[in-house]
Amino acid sequence: MSFEFDFTLDKLKNCIHKNREPELWYNAMCQYLPQFGITTPARVAGFVAQCQHESLDFTILTENLNYGAKGLRGLFGKYFPTDELALQYQRKPEMIANRIYANRMANGPESSGDGWKYRGRGILQITGRANYTQCSKDLFGDTTLADNPDLVRTPEYSIITACWFWYKNVLNPICDSGDIVLLSKKINGGTIGLDDRIKHWNHCLDVSIGRTTKCNKDFVNWAEKHGQKLPATAKKELSKESGCYGGFYLYLKDDKSLTIARLMLGDAIAKIEEVVKH
């Protein structure tokens, strides 16, 4: 299986600006994404956008647990019910990990050190002995990752473990439907950073399909040719570097691009459909 569009190193560079080693990530993506069906513009855009949000452009590959007492009380009040206890653990990442991850996800007690050993790693933060073990068995038929969890901090293992997570959580169909909110919830458990995730999604999709101002101008020409009067909001959107109206134009030209139309969020798609219907 291969990509269903021209996925190039330059396109990836355009998406992950902060990363200084895009070639390593590109090579790993080319090797593993197709194996998990992540081959369409929508799926690749979803994968890259969500992962870059979680890892700051694929640069942060280990969970940050350097919390102060206030952060521990606010985020992990269950494990730090008093200020006194939180002060004992503040700014001590290893101690914090061992406490908050103890006796769950197949980890041992706090004294075992499993919390720190199996803290989150990779672009989608594989966490807990159970997940490292299951991921390793599914991918390699052994306990490689449980035995050597730091492997997940390398581009190759980071990408393949993220693909494993993607596959296990059946995320490709969600990308196909364009439901970014649901996709974010499946990955993060909520909608934290949703605006940033949507921004990355739109940009990655623009890059993947070559959605540009020219595409938007083509849509304007199509609309005028068919006697359509675009609303002022549409013209404003079309003045930007890229936009959802151009994306819907792809659908109008090519039935196979129905997915692209569905990717356009907010009330913009409704406005476009209204224009087309009349």
What pLDDT, in 10s, does the model give residues 71-101?
Answer: 999 999 999 999 999 999 999 999 999 999 9
Residue 3 falls inside a structural domain: no
Residue after which a domain boundary falls, among 108, 126, 151: 151
Residue 1 falls inside a structural domain: no
pLDDT above 70 (res 244): no
> Region 143-163: what's the mean pLDDT?
98
pLDDT above 80 (res 59): yes
Q: What is this structure's pTM?
A: 0.78
> Region 108-133: what's the mean pLDDT?
98
Domain count, the chain: 3
Residue 147 falls inside a structural domain: yes
**233: confidence class by pLDDT, cuts 50, 70, 90:** low
Long-range CB contact pairs, 218-222, < 8 A, 24+: 218/246, 218/249, 219/245, 219/246, 219/248, 219/249, 219/252, 222/249, 222/252
Verify that 136 and 271 share a domain, yes or no.
Answer: no
Which residue range(s) make up the domain with 223?
211-277
Residue 251 falls inside a structural domain: yes
Verify that 122 and 85 share a domain, yes or no.
Answer: yes
pLDDT above 60 (res 65): yes
> Region 148-164: what's the mean pLDDT?
98
| Average pLDDT along the chain | 84
Verify that 136 and 91 share a domain, yes or no.
Answer: yes
Verify that 82 and 114 share a domain, yes or no.
Answer: yes
Verify that 56 and 87 share a domain, yes or no.
Answer: no
Residue 248 is predicted with a pLDDT of: 43
Of 233 and 269, the one with more pLDDT: 233
Verify that 49 and 172 share a domain, yes or no.
Answer: yes
Question: Which segments of the chain does DSSP mark as H helices, in order?
Answer: 9-15, 22-32, 41-55, 69-75, 83-89, 93-100, 114-117, 129-140, 144-147, 155-168, 172-177, 180-188, 194-209, 213-225, 232-238, 244-253, 258-262, 268-277
Residue after which a domain boundary falls, among 207, 225, 246: 207
Residue after which a domain boundary falls, among 132, 151, 170: 151
Residue 161 is predicted with a pLDDT of: 98
Residue 115 is predicted with a pLDDT of: 98
Residue 251 is predicted with a pLDDT of: 36
What pLDDT, in 10s, does the model give residues 7-39?
Answer: 999 999 999 999 999 999 999 999 999 999 999
> Region 193-203: what's the mean pLDDT?
90
> Region 247-256: what's the mean pLDDT?
38
